[in-house]
């Protein structure tokens, strides 16, 4: 057993507490203006299941979802891994099936899909104010920006 002098143990405890209160609270003390923290819990769910949504074409392969975004027309954009699963080490070959699917937000109809032969391990998605689609691939260690129709920008 390591013997630590009493004063050193006290000093280490004080330093740990100072670090915690200096940096640990830094991230949770951010101030957001014009946002109300008041929540309205009515007991009623805000979402509902829509049976038959999405409408998937026969044979379409959709896999683990890694990102979901909504564009300015309320279309739902899904980034998924097709048939691939997270394994270590990552595969080196590109996924040969479409990995980005765009659905009509109301009907669930698949409007378009693309992204085949581009990604190894899809990971995240965001849609910017110009409806550009940003995705990350941890297998390729890259961030990609696409137009809404799949053109690499």
| Residue 43 domain flag | no
Ranges of H-type helices in the chain? 6-19
The closest of 100, 97, 116 to 68, measured between CA atoms, is 100
Is residue 111 scored above 60 in pLDDT? yes
Q: 80 and 8 share a domain?
A: no
* 44 Cβ contact partners less than 8 Å away, ≥ 6 residues apart: none
How many domains does the chain divide into? 2
> Domain with 86 in it: what CATH number?
2.40.10.500
Chain segment 81-103, per-residue pLDDT in tens:
998 988 888 899 999 999 999 99
69 and 134 co-located in one domain: yes
**Contacts for 92 with CB less than 8 Å, ≥ 6 apart:** 120, 139
In terms of residue numbers, what domain contains 84? 65-146
Note whether 21 and 73 are same-domain residues: no
Write the pLDDT tens digit of every residue in 27-84: 444 445 555 555 556 667 677 778 888 888 898 888 999 999 999 999 999 999 998 9
Say if 38 falls within a structural domain. Answer: no
Domain annotation covers residue 108:
yes
């Amino acid at each position: 057993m390591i013997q630590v002098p009493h004063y050193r143990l006290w000093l280490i405890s004080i330093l740990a507490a100072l670090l915690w209160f200096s940096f640990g609270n830094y991230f949770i003390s951010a101030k957001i203006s014009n946002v109300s923290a008041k929540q309205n819990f009515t007991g009623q769910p805000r979402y509902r299941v829509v049976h038959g949504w999405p409408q998937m074409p026969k044979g379409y392969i959709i896999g683990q979802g890694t990102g979901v975004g909504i564009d300015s027309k309320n279309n739902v954009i899904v980034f998924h891994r097709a048939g691939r699963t997270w394994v270590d080490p990552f595969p080196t070959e590109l996924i040969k099936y479409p990995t980005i699917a765009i659905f009509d937000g109301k009907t669930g109809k698949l409007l378009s899909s693309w992204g085949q032969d581009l990604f190894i391990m899809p990971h995240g998605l965001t849609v910017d104010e110009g409806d550009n689609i940003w995705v990350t691939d941890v297998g390729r260690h890259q961030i990609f920006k696409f137009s809404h129709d799949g053109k690499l920008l």
